[in-house]
Amino acid sequence: MQQLWLKLKDISDLIVFKHSVFALPFIFVAMIVSSKAQSGTVWFGFKLLIFGLLAAVSARNFAMAFNRYADRDIDKYNPRTANRPSVDGRIGTFNMQLFIALNAIVFIVVAYLINDLAFYLSIPILIILGGYSLFKRFSPYAHLVLGVSLGLAPIAGVVAIQESIPLWSILLSIGVMYWVAGFDLLYSLQDMEYDKANGLFSIPSRFGKEATFFISRLFHAQTVLFWFLFVLSADLGFLAYVGVLISAIVLFFEHRIVLKDFSKIDRAFFTLNGYLGIIFFALIFLDRI
């Protein structure tokens, strides 16, 4: 039993399971908004709740495991990442390949069980999720690819409910894309010198710290704009606008914390952004009921 617990802990370390908090709220924002518009209720049923969770978790497991697998040669020389299970031997190459394949299969099967459009989109989504891991080797804009990867979450949510992609879901997704890309820019400042020394492409390594701060602020301003347009386009109510306002305040404090003391990047990255997603979801939920 202890061996099983240790192995599960290694897998959790590999995929950083706690970071699922970034995508899940926005999948369910899209699902409740779509369900309310379709059937007059925010409750879309246990079947889609379970399928939504399975699809979200398997897609994220695939993306994170593929990223760790593809980056083994990079991570083993970086002091910040040298103790990852994919590098230090806790999880072997074959086991990582098996984990990646199993999660890809689960995602595709769940998509097939949801509806035709979800199934048709499943393979392209997996290709995009895996693409982030390769972009840093030739393009400084991998941050945006990561943003697109998480930005697919609301699209997946609305497709599950109504098998279409309305304008409001695209606006919500673009906001998520800029949100994720903006905080990934701040997080990647930790590896700026390592990326420079090893010829890796990132905005911090190519354009420097000050430019990175500016671009991150610009991305987060776009986040607020597109979430405002989402609320407007979906014809949501007062509490949804409050959610956008609170998101803007949280992002402001995130930048203030990082500018003041860069050693607190983990607090800004995980804690504040985790709360942002949960609060945004809660206010949209309350608005719809």
Instruction: Indicate the pLDDT class of residue 23, thresholds 50, 70 and 90.
Output: confident
For the cut 70, the answer to whether the pLDDT of residue 12 exceeds it is: no
Domain ranges in the chain? 2-288
CA neighbor of 250 nearest in space, from 200, 166, 182, 153? 182
The mean predicted confidence, pLDDT, of the chain is 88
In this structure, is the dihedral angle defined by the CA atoms of residues 281, 251, 249 and 169, taken in order, positive or negative? Answer: negative
Q: Is the pTM of this model over 0.85?
A: yes
- Written as six digits, the tokens of 54 are 């399975």
Instruction: Indicate the pLDDT class of residue 7, thresholds 50, 70 and 90.
Output: low
Instruction: Indicate the pLDDT class of residue 8, thresholds 50, 70 and 90.
Output: low
Classify domain 2-288 by CATH number.
1.10.357.140
Report yes or no: 268 and 257 within 8 Å, Cβ to Cβ. yes
CA neighbor of 97 nearest in space, from 124, 65, 72? 65
For the cut 60, the answer to whether the pLDDT of residue 99 exceeds it is: yes
The average pLDDT across 155-172 equals 96
CA neighbor of 149 nearest in space, from 125, 185, 121? 125
Each residue of 26-55: pLDDT tens digit?
999 999 999 999 999 999 999 999 999 999
The reported pLDDT for the residue numbered 13 is 61
Report yes or no: 75 and 86 within 8 Å, Cβ to Cβ. yes
